[in-house]
Structure 1
Amino acid sequence: MTKSIPTKTLVSTSTISRLRTLIITSCTGKKLHNPTNQLTIEDFKDTERLRERTQSLLEFSCPSGQMYTGLQHLRLMEGVDILRSRFGREVVDVKIISAAYGLIPEDKVIVPYTVTFNSMKNDEISSWANFIGIHKDFQEAVIGYDLVFVLLGDKYIRALNLPIETNPKQTFIFLASNKSRNLVVLGDANFELLTFSNADASRFGCALVGLKGQLLKLIATEIRQEPNLLSEIYNNPKILENLLNNQPQQLELPLGISVATAKKSNIKNKKPKRAIADLDEFLNLPRAVNTHLTMKYFIPEWDDKVDIGYNFLLDESSLNRNAYRDDVYAHEIYSQPNYDGILVSKVVVDKIKNKRADIEKLGGIRNFVRFPGEIMGDCGAFGYIKLEAPPYNTVEILDYYEKLKFDYGVSIDHLIVGPFAEPGVREKRYDLTLQNAEEFISKHQKIGYTFTPIGVAQGWDPETYADAVKKLVEMGYDYIAIGGVARTPTIEILEILKEVYQHLTPKTRLHLFGVGRIDALPYFRHLGVTSFDSASPLRKAWFDAVENYHTLSGKAYAAVRIPFVDKQSPRIKHLLLEGYERETLRQLEQEALKAIREYDKGNISLDESLEKLLAYDELLELPRDGKVTPTAKARRLRQHTQLYRELLEVKPWQECECKICKDYGVETAIFRGNDRNRRRGFHNTYVFFQRFQEFLNTENHLENDNFDRTGESI
């Protein structure tokens, strides 16, 4: 699979900083701007027409490095930033093969277009690539570079029309698909070809369309930790096989915990040690019979609203504000909701006095949450988990769903988790859940309720879950939910789904309660999951201490903590008890706020801003036992210095296209009170939904255009 011609003289580690590196990547269909009148291939055939059409699109112009927002490009550029931060910007160059503009540098200003090699036949690719001069430009572009990374799909590699002239002192590394093997031919250069398939994409926790960018980022991360690795790769690119094969798979598990699960890779057929399970077995199963059904994301409703008129500079709420009446949901801020539906639990409704009456008075749940999409109701089994039996009866719940005008209503279930999964207890809850489901659908059909019934499956192992699903299908349910798995490791959920999916029919929809793990979606989708709910992206904005500002690339940052002095948080109370003057703390607080805002505007340097932020932040250490030691303070200072520097260097809020970041800017990246933290949660939900949509689009694209029946890229 790998081709190598080691013919050049070895480079010493002292020359690392002089190794000029070029990265060649491709354009992406997803772009920063998406106007309806984008340039077409016909525009590029006529110089005068191209000039006129470009003028009409100037408002959407930007450098090519910013224009492309596909997954490969975003992750690749993260890797480039890592390399530049270590060796200097001048050492690493990026050039992009555009099916419209040809081979272009990342700083070339372009406008949106719709041309792609992926939609062309082989002879069309050769003809068009020759017309825009890709072979000649590529030949000239690589001159003077020591190390060249080429990250291209097979159709873009075909456009290069290899071979080209090279010299023995150059090293080329191609990251490509298996279909590209016969297309990569070079002259005298030392080169390495690493090919990947859909199984490798699963291993690295990334859709295949973004895998090459993800791998470049991984390589860059390793180089940052071991700078000599760059020269080692130059001298012997074969070491990349071991480097990549030794990367663990990261699957997001509940409560923000990650576990590395090693899985076999197709790279050289090397088989790393299996830590939990070989995840290939799930994707190698036949696809579930219901995968033609649309996959949807529901967000739980917990009154997550913000004051739309909040004054961030003065930290004051809107004048005469009535939180119940005036505060708004995320879907009222964005032009399009960042979720397909909302899940409302009865126990949440019941916790607030008169909430149900208010819902009925307004004409139903949709009017209450002011949401145009689908709304699902459940009982909220977590709220009565300790009771011997649920506090509701079937007729009561059926009437509740109907009167409040839910689109979907879930049968009454009883959780089988923790101490309630012990023998003797679990069987009773299992039988009760199925009995409730049978009564639920029977009465639903007999009386003629208008909402869609959903039957819940509970269990304590894959076999009991599968048996429950089988019974629910036999009862007549077309929509089934898997409950009790919100805190279950991903691998165990997959084992459950592996058994469950055998009982699904082409019209069965399958919901996962409380599980929204972006990296696990390919597996869930493959095994028949058609919907899920999760508030994790939202609530991580204030519950996650480190990764609470999310980005489309998958990278998460730590928002800067600047707590209110006058709102008596535990940390502030502790400082006052320790003898700090309130006015001194207030001054540090205001200087920190001013510093991050001035840095955002470009008026002060990063180091100046960081100094002011840390002057306040270093006082805020407060362990759970209340005992602050010099060691704990020093540890916090080191950690937060690194985290805040990483955030400030990138300024991700300036690049984000979501309305929260555009309207509130740097305030979104400040950890301070509900109106900032919850807005950041709205931003995180936007990011999650965009990544979810990208997954769905990628899946459809791969299914319809780029994949044969073996899952290999065509």
Structure 2
Amino acid sequence: MRFFFPDSQDQVDPGFDFVTEERDPLRVRQRDDLYAHEVLDPPPFHGLLVSKSIVDGYSDGSAGKYTGAQRRRLYREGAREFFRLDHASGPLRIMGDCGAFSYVKETYPPYSVDDVIDFYDGCGFDYGIAVDHVIFQYEPEISRDDERAIEWVRRQDITLTLANDFWKRCKDRRVRFSPLGVAQGWSPQSYADAVVALQRIGYRRIAMGGMVPLKTREILACLRAVDDIRRSDTQLHLLGISRCDDIPTFATHGVTSFDSTSPFRQAFKDDRDNYYTFDSTYIALRVPQVDGYVKLRKRIASGEVDQRQAIILERSALRLLRDYDAGIASLDDTLAALQNYSQVWDGKTDRSAAYRRTLQDRPWRDCTCTLCQTLGIEIAVFRGTERNKRRGFHNLHIFRNRLRAQLGEDLT
């Protein structure tokens, strides 16, 4: 089972000072900042998933997340050198897709088959996923002939037609990557029909798309339907699915790889489950910057909050958190400082019980990852991209260990 982490230019600055919150003025992000696989050993994933929409945007003017200089360098150097994959302790793979979520509202995908092949082959990817068009609905009782399925059938037909063209063009151009077709559907039967068509074309690697909103039982219903027609040598990839506890079950249905950003994004997107441990999760300790938190800046601008007082409370919370971790401050004083500042920047949500649990347990002290060992309590502070992304990297490390345990692999 292989776990691919979708790239979105997520790096951390190794020279960032957590006390002064300053950077080296000579820092160059792409040269100096580090990816998760450079920070953690072993790497917390088996490979990266890179989307064309993230790199290039598309023709209607929608911008990707890469600058022009980054984009040119990726094409010039190739993905392996650009992402510095040879720095990792284990061999990492690169998978490419189109980023169909970014154009889901479009009538037709904005990329041609040759556009996508140019991207995959030009960047030196190991795997390339055919152009697809997402179907988000799940209606297991609706057949292909039902008039309610007209749009879903249209998108599925587009996806299969493009998959056929992609397969032929890959053969004609003798590409260096392994092509994957995409199965899009709205029911177990429609997914099975898509896989039948893709296998007939010649695909033995198939990505299952559009399943992110589905419940686990719905995903399994689709996989069981696919089992009835799947060849023994056909391997499945789950796009955007990371349910660790279910991975062994997915594996029994031909799933050999998946991708997801969930462990990373929960570090700074979730209300409570921000910090992973092997058998639990914790809330991160929120201390937003006075000058960087939009809602607080608005309250200051309106005169509702005194800026000087907000800065004093912010600094007090940070100081007491560090003193608590050093054994100098008490838990109650530290919790009180967090709550006092919370009243200023939030004023609505009482997180004191969850904060107390995080502070009492100090889970970072039991973690063996490089980040927790180096940063201490800073890894559990919800504040700015440098702390939040490091906590996301930590979550990836724990997720990879959970995955290995679920699959019965040795963790030593």
Question: TM (normalized to structure 1)?
Answer: 0.53
Query: Counterpart of 2:99?
Result: 380
Check if 1:533 corresponds to 2:247.
no
Q: 1:339 aligns with which of 24, 33, 45?
A: 45
Query: Counterpart of 1:303?
Result: 9
SS in 2 for 1:515: coil
SS in 2 for 1:424: helix
Distance verdict in 2 for CA 1:413–1:300, change over 3 Å: same
Q: How far, CA to CA, are the matches of 1:568 and 1:300 in structure 2?
A: 27
Q: How far, CA to CA, are the matches of 1:548 and 1:599 in structure 2?
A: 20
Letter in 1 for 2:151: V
Query: Counterpart of 1:583?
Result: 308
Letter in 1 for 2:166: F
Query: Counterpart of 1:366?
Result: 80
Query: 1:465 deviation in Å?
Result: 0.3
Query: Counterpart of 1:523?
Result: 249
Letter in 2 for 1:425: E
Query: Counterpart of 2:61?
Result: none
Q: How far, CA to CA, are the matches of 1:470 and 1:296 in structure 2?
A: 24
Letter in 1 for 2:274: N
Query: Counterpart of 2:209?
Result: 483
Check if 1:606 corresponds to 2:324.
no
Q: How far, CA to CA, are the matches of 1:556 and 1:338 in structure 2?
A: 18
Letter in 2 for 1:664: L
Question: Gaps (5+ residues) in structure 1?
Answer: 1-294, 623-632, 701-714
Query: Counterpart of 2:278?
Result: 552
Check if 1:645 corresponds to 2:371.
no
Distance verdict in 2 for CA 1:332–1:699, change over 3 Å: closer
Query: 1:491 deviation in Å?
Result: 1.1
8 A Cα contact 2:138 2:186, kept in partner? no
Choose 367-376 or 586-595, whichever is displaced more.
367-376
Letter in 1 for 2:382: F
Q: How far, CA to CA, are the matches of 1:580 and 1:486 in structure 2?
A: 41
Query: 1:650 deviation in Å?
Result: 0.3
After TM superposition, what 4+ stretches of structure 1 lie above 4 angstroms from structure 2? Answer: 418-422
Query: 1:346 deviation in Å?
Result: 0.4
8 A Cα contact 1:307 1:318, kept in partner? no
Q: 2:370 aligns with which of 630, 649, 659?
A: 659
Distance verdict in 2 for CA 1:497–1:699, change over 3 Å: farther
Distance verdict in 2 for CA 1:389–1:699, change over 3 Å: farther
8 A Cα contact 2:184 2:210, kept in partner? yes
Q: How far, CA to CA, are the matches of 1:347 and 1:603 in structure 2?
A: 49
Distance verdict in 2 for CA 1:527–1:672, change over 3 Å: same
Q: How far, CA to CA, are the matches of 2:383 and 2:323 in structure 1?
A: 18
SS in 2 for 1:487: coil
Q: 1:678 aligns with which of 368, 373, 389?
A: 389
8 A Cα contact 2:2 2:257, kept in partner? yes
SS in 1 for 2:408: helix
Query: Counterpart of 1:397?
Result: 116
For residues 654-702 of structure 1, the C-alpha deviation after alignment (integer angstroms, 9 at most, x for no partner) is: 11101110111110000000000010000011110110111122699xx
Q: How far, CA to CA, are the matches of 1:489 and 1:654 in structure 2?
A: 35
Q: How far, CA to CA, are the matches of 2:80 and 2:315 in structure 1?
A: 42
Question: TM (normalized to structure 2)?
Answer: 0.91
Give the 5 Å matches for 1:32-111.
Answer: none
Greater Rg over alpha carbons, structure: 1
SS in 1 for 2:264: helix
Distance verdict in 2 for CA 1:499–1:568, change over 3 Å: closer
Percent identity of equivalent pairs: 40
Query: Counterpart of 2:60?
Result: none
Q: 1:458 aligns with which of 184, 193, 202?
A: 184
Q: How far, CA to CA, are the matches of 2:354 and 2:114 in structure 1?
A: 53
8 A Cα contact 1:541 1:684, kept in partner? yes
8 A Cα contact 2:299 2:305, kept in partner? no
Distance verdict in 2 for CA 1:472–1:699, change over 3 Å: farther
Query: 1:507 deviation in Å?
Result: 2.2
Query: Counterpart of 1:562?
Result: 287
Give the 5 Å matches for 1:385-464.
Answer: 385-418=104-137, 422-464=148-190
Letter in 1 for 2:85: F
For residues 139-192 of structure 1, the C-alpha deviation after alignment (integer angstroms, 9 at most, x for no partner) is: xxxxxxxxxxxxxxxxxxxxxxxxxxxxxxxxxxxxxxxxxxxxxxxxxxxxxx
SS in 2 for 1:449: coil
RMSD: 1.9
Letter in 1 for 2:119: Y
For residues 494-539 of structure 1, the C-alpha deviation after alignment (integer angstroms, 9 at most, x for no partner) is: 1100101222233221100000011221321122211000000000
Give the 5 Å matches for 1:117-136.
Answer: none
Q: How far, CA to CA, are the matches of 1:698 and 1:335 in structure 2?
A: 17
Q: How far, CA to CA, are the matches of 2:188 and 2:305 in structure 1?
A: 57
Question: Gaps (5+ residues) in structure 2?
Answer: 57-63, 87-91, 143-147
